[in-house]
Amino acid sequence: MVMVATKENDFIKMLIEALPKSNRYYGIPHTTVMLSAGPTFVSNMLRRVADTSKVFVWTLAEREMYFGDLKGKSWHSWDTQFLMFLQHNLIFILILSVPVAGYFIFKGGAQAFGGWSAAKSQTPIDDLEATEALDPQRSQ
pLDDT tens profile 68-121: 766 666 667 788 888 889 889 989 888 988 888 888 777 765 555 555 545 455
Give burial (CB, 10 Å; 0-12/13-18/19+) of 81. exposed
- Would the pTM of this model clear 0.75, i.e. be above it? no
Distance CA 122, CA 124 (A): 7
Higher pLDDT, 53 or 133: 53
pLDDT tens, position by position, 10-33 = 888 999 999 999 999 988 888 888
Element (H, E) at 38: none
